[in-house]
Amino acid sequence: MSDQLELLEAESETARLNALQENVHTNFRGIMDIASGSEVNNHVHTHYSFSPYSPTSVAFHARMSGLQAVGSVDHDSISAAGEMRKAASIVGIGSTAGCELRVNFFSTPFAKEKLNNPDSTGIAYIVFHGVPEDSVRPLEQFLSPIVSRREERSRRELDGINETLRRIALEPLDYDRDIRPASWADRGGTVTERHLLNAMALRIVEHVGDRPGLPAYLTDEMNIFVPGNVAARLSEPGNPHILYDLLGVLKSRYLPDVFIQPDEAECIAVEDAVSFARKIGAIPAYAYLGDVDESPTGDKAAQKFEDEYLDSLFPVLAELGFQSITYMPPRNSRSQLKRVQELCARYGLLEISGVDINSSRQVFTSREVLLPEFRHLNDTTWALIAHEHLSSVDRRYGLFHPGNPLTQLPLTDRVRAYSEVGRKTDPFHPDEIGELAPSI
């Protein structure tokens, strides 16, 4: 990694942003010469949950990838929001900020169903999208007890991992020495299962040494099946993504052995989470997963999720107060997503796209959003950007606010109007969007 890229991962936010400004000033790697395409990605993780990237680095790589806009989404944390907005404005692209959390559906007909969470039944991932700037602090306070409860569970999960490490004659891990310092938990972030598994992966790689023997070691010593394509990656000499590749295997094939089900203090009731999101002007989104094959990064085995009962799920989501559905076009078939789109139209739910980037192997782009049936997702992103900035100026300008001047229009027309405002905004000076409010 070059010095310029390393500085984007500096300890202080100020140093990171200054480094990015210098990269723009010197046109490092021709960053300002790269033509902006038509792609967006609203779901990139940062160090505030688990990722190779700081928020500043996210903005850099998004610009280098030709994205029009990028959004930060971290597990149980909104702490990336401020830096994300500043960094995106430095490189001249749009940005959004959100957070992802798990909630329980225990009061619904789906209490015993596997929703979009591979690890639990009756618990689902949802996203707060388009968080207004003045709502960041209230959201941090809302998430704080959830994060504390999650950390308690993470410490107990590490006990299970250490039992495995002792069994295979590897040194156990210490939470306060090996896990927490590798996260940004002390800056408002979270410790996730990926942090635990990454530390475990590091122990294994340090021990095996001979990487071509890594798949056999996992099979012989840990009884872990390694799919052929992933085995090839793990055996590749000099693989720069080795820890992420191994983490993916451990997440899909080993984590169930040590995973501890979260309680209702960590995964709060879905109706409470949705109500709070709407209260602070964020847009609550259910994260559609759908039945999936083996994931490209190896972190999800082929499983069935919501597709069998999707027609029954959507009216419940609308009744609970969800305002949008977020999905990842590369992850599903076109027939799956056509069904989701039809249900969104039927129940008046906004469609938001994004691909959850949390590995150095992944690319920021998603060519699928360029297909005719997904191009409207770019308009949605610009509408989301306009919503986020305008509702920070005046909450009534929130896309779904009952006092919105366009509230009588169909959602598609509102999105179109907001998209136009978002696109007219100077990405280098997004705070000036307030001047465009009268056009709504």
Nearest CA to 243 among 192, 197, 190?
197
| pLDDT tens string 237-247 | 889 999 999 99
| pLDDT tens string 268-296 | 999 999 999 999 999 999 999 999 875 54
pLDDT at residue 3 in the model: 82
| Assigned token pair, 173 | 């891990």
Percent over 70 (pLDDT), the chain: 98
pLDDT at 28 over 50: yes
Helix pair angle (376-393, 411-424), 10° resolution: 80
Mean pLDDT of the chain: 93
pLDDT bucket at 301, cuts 50 / 70 / 90: low
363: β partners: none
Alpha carbon distance 44, 41 (integer Å): 7
Delimit the domains of the chain by residue range: 34-144+265-374
| pLDDT tens string 256-269 | 999 999 999 999 99
Mean pLDDT of 2-21: 94
Mean pLDDT of 175-202: 97
pLDDT at 348 over 60: yes
pLDDT at residue 435 in the model: 75
Three-state SS across the chain?
CCHHHHHCCCCCHHHHHHHHHHHHHCCHHHHHHCCCCCCEEEEECCCCCCCCCCHHHHHHHHHHCCCCEEEEEEECECCCHHHHHHHHHHHCCEEEEEEEEEEECCCCCCCCCCCCCCCCCCEEEEEEECCCHHHHHHHHHHHHHHHHHHHHHHHHHHHHHHHHHHHCCCCCCCHHHHHHHHCCHHHCCCCCHHHHHHHHHHHHHHHHCCHHHHHHHHHHHHCCCCCHHHHHHHCCCCCCCHHHHHHHHHHHHCHHHHCCCCCCCCCCEHHHHHHHHHHCCCEEEEECCCCECCCCCCCCCCECCCHHHHHHHHHHHHHHCCCEEEECHHHCCHHHHHHHHHHHHHHCCEEEECCCECCCCCCCCCHHHHCHHHCHHHHHHHHHHHHHHHHHHCHHHCCCCCCCCCCCCCHHHHHHHHHHHHHHCCCCCHHHHHHHHHHC
pLDDT bucket at 2, cuts 50 / 70 / 90: confident
pLDDT at residue 382 in the model: 96
| pTM of the complete model | 0.94
Nearest CA to 54 among 91, 31, 20?
20
| Assigned token pair, 356 | 């959850």
pLDDT bucket at 432, cuts 50 / 70 / 90: confident
For 308, residues 6+ apart whose C-beta sits below 8 A from its C-beta are: 291
More confident residue, 36 or 83: 83
pLDDT at residue 368 in the model: 82
pLDDT at 299 over 70: no
What architecture is domain 34-144+265-374? Alpha-Beta Barrel (3.20)
Residues in the chain: 440
pLDDT at residue 300 in the model: 54
pLDDT at 424 over 70: yes
pLDDT at 297 over 50: no
pLDDT at residue 437 in the model: 74
| pLDDT tens string 98-119 | 999 999 999 999 999 999 999 9
